Amino acid sequence: MSNLDRTSYEMPDEYRYTGFNTDGTPKKYYLRTYGCQMNEHDTEVMAGLLQGMGYVPTDSQEESDVILFNTCAVRENAEDKVFGEIGRLRPLKQRNPELVLGLCGCMAQEQGVQKMVLEKFPWVDVVFGTHNIDRLPALLAEARTSQATVMEVWDKAAETVEDMPKARKDNVRAWVNIQYGCNKFCTYCIVPYTRGRERSRQPEDIVQEVRQLVADGFKEITLLGQNVNDYGVDLGTSSFAKLLREVNDIPGIDRIRFTTSNPWNFSDDLIAAIAECEHVVEHVHLPVQSGNNEILKRMNRSHTREYYLQLVKKIRAAIPGVSLTTDIIVGFPGETEEQFEDTVSLVREVQFDNAFTFIYSPRENTPAARFEDTLTLDEKKQRLYRLNEAQAEVCLKRNQDLKGEVVDVLVEGASKTNAQVLSGRTRTNRLILFPGSIDLRGQHVQVEITHPQTFLLKGRMVTREEEVS
> Could you tell me which residues are annotated as the binding site for [4Fe-4S] cluster?
36, 72, 106, 182, 186, 189
Three-state secondary structure readout of 398-453: HHHCCCCCEEEEEEEEECCCCCCEEEEEECCCCEEEEECCHHHCCCEEEEEEEEEC
Taking the least distance from each CB to ligand F3S, the nearer of 55 and 180 is 180
The most distant pair of C-alpha atoms in the chain lies apart, rounded to whole Å, by: 68
When asked if residue 356 is in the footprint of ligand SF4 (CB under 6 A), the reply is no
Q: Which of the listed partners (ligand SAH, ligand SF4, ligand F3S, none) does 329 bind, with a CB threshold of 5 to 8 Å by partner kind?
A: ligand SAH
Residues recorded for the chain: 469
When asked if residue 286 is in the footprint of ligand F3S (CB under 6 A), the reply is no
Output the smallest distance, CB 71 to ligand F3S, in A: 7
Q: Where are the alpha helices (DSSP H) in 319-430?
A: 337-350, 377-400
Among positions 65-84, residues that touch ligand F3S (CB under 6 A) are 72-74
Q: Which of 195, 285, 383, 398 binds ligand F3S (CB under 6 A)?
A: 195
Q: Which of 72, 107, 189, 457 binds ligand SAH (CB under 6 A)?
A: 189
Q: Which residues contact 104 (CB under 8 A, 6 or more apart)?
A: 46, 68, 69, 70, 71, 127, 128, 129, 130, 132, 133
- Find the part of the chain contacting ligand F3S (CB under 6 A) among 17-25, 55-63, 82-90, 186-194: 186-194
Q: Which residues contact 149 (CB under 8 A, 6 or more apart)?
A: 117, 118, 122, 124, 125, 126, 127
Prior bond of 374 cis (ω within 30°): no
Strand partners, 173: 220
Binding residues: 36, 72, 106, 182, 186, 189
Output the smallest distance, CB 169 to ligand SF4, in A: 23
Among positions 176-195, residues that touch ligand SF4 (CB under 6 A) are 182, 184-186, 189, 191-192
Is the separation of the CB atoms in 264 and 232 below 8 Å? no
Among positions 245-284, residues that touch ligand SF4 (CB under 6 A) are 262
DSSP result, 19-69: TB-TTSPBPEEEEEE-SSHHHHHHHHHHHHHHHHHT-EE-S-TTT-SEEEE
Q: Which of 327, 364, 373, 448 binds ligand SAH (CB under 6 A)?
A: 327
When asked if residue 355 is in the footprint of ligand SAH (CB under 6 A), the reply is no
CA distances from 411 to 315, 402, 452 (A): 27, 19, 18
When asked if residue 133 is in the footprint of ligand F3S (CB under 6 A), the reply is no
Taking the least distance from each CB to ligand SAH, the nearer of 29 and 360 is 360
When asked if residue 287 is in the footprint of ligand SAH (CB under 6 A), the reply is yes
Residue 191: exposure state from Cβ atoms within 10 A (0-12, 13-18, ≥19): buried
Kindly determine how many residues on this chain lie close enough to bind ligand SAH according to the rule CB under 6 A.
17
When asked if residue 39 is in the footprint of ligand SF4 (CB under 6 A), the reply is no
When asked if residue 128 is in the footprint of ligand SAH (CB under 6 A), the reply is no
Q: Which residues contact 118 (CB under 8 A, 6 or more apart)?
A: 149, 151
Q: Which of the listed partners (ligand SF4, ligand SAH, ligand F3S, none) does 361 bind, with a CB threshold of 5 to 8 Å by partner kind?
A: ligand SAH
Query: Where do contacts with ligand F3S occur on this chain (CB under 6 A)?
Result: 35-36, 38-39, 72-74, 105-106, 190-191, 194-195
Query: Where do contacts with ligand SAH occur on this chain (CB under 6 A)?
Result: 74-75, 188-189, 191, 226-227, 260, 262, 287, 289, 327, 329, 358, 360-361, 363
